[in-house]
Amino acid sequence: MSFKGKTVLVTGAGSGIGLAIARAFAREGARVLVHDVRDASRLAEELGGVYLQADLADPEGVEALGRRGAEMGVDILVNNAGFQHIAPVEEFPLATWQKMLQVMLTAPFQLTRALLPGMKGRGWGRILNIASIHALVASPFKSAYISAKHGLVGLTRAVALEAGPFGITVNAIAPAYVRTPLVEGQIRDQAKTLGIPPEEVVEKVFLAQAAVRRLIEPEEVAELALFLASEKASAITGAVFPIDLGWTAR
């Protein structure tokens, strides 16, 4: 499939899933706007794209990013950026809760609001929200993350209904554990806490609910993102696609 002539904005494109998605779209000919809070100018240059810096925890910074994206004619928006904080709900810092919802729910809303008019004007657009299996099920100690991801699915469905008449599709991808720096750090932390090898953490903790016992590769998520942005998926909108190793089959 080719995305030549299309402009893609990927948030959190400096590593992990975002990086794989940015590389996949660049490979297929798209102009990629590489967003990250850290300097990703070298990556953008490698992909023949443009680096856009913004802290998604800052609403004004997100508004500025949205204006820049609108000026550059974004056709495909991939809301990917996020982070995790793990704590019992009674110990969860309010400031951290608010920051997580801003980065993973409010920022996608802000960028969607900023870029949707241009997509409507061109009669074509794709919005892809990278949710999580935790947009569909819950786990303890992740109340803010799960609330944000559940909310992101609701945003996906509502905007899909509004944008459909204008040739715009809006979908969410819900992966289980993906082999990213974030997850690898969590594996190391759990191994230290539990006093077991990292491999055992993956098998007995991270993949306890899975039918397929392996981590997902970022490139697998990127390939689904490419398909959902393609013309072959033009009839698909308002949907949530688990890549969950059979997690939700139970």
Positions marked catalytic: 145
The answer to whether residues 18 and 80 touch, using CB atoms and an 8 Å cutoff, is yes
* Distance of alpha carbon 248 from alpha carbon 122, whole angstroms: 38
Partners of 36 in beta bridges: 53
Pick from 137, 157, 142: nearest CA to 249:
137
CB count in 10 Å sphere of residue 52: 21
Partners of 126 in beta bridges: 76, 169
Partners of 175 in beta bridges: 243
* Distance of alpha carbon 11 from alpha carbon 32, whole angstroms: 11
With b meaning 16 or more CB within 10 Å and e meaning fewer, what string describes 25-49?
bbebebbbbbbbbeebeebbeebeb
Helix and strand totals (H; E) in the chain = 9, 7
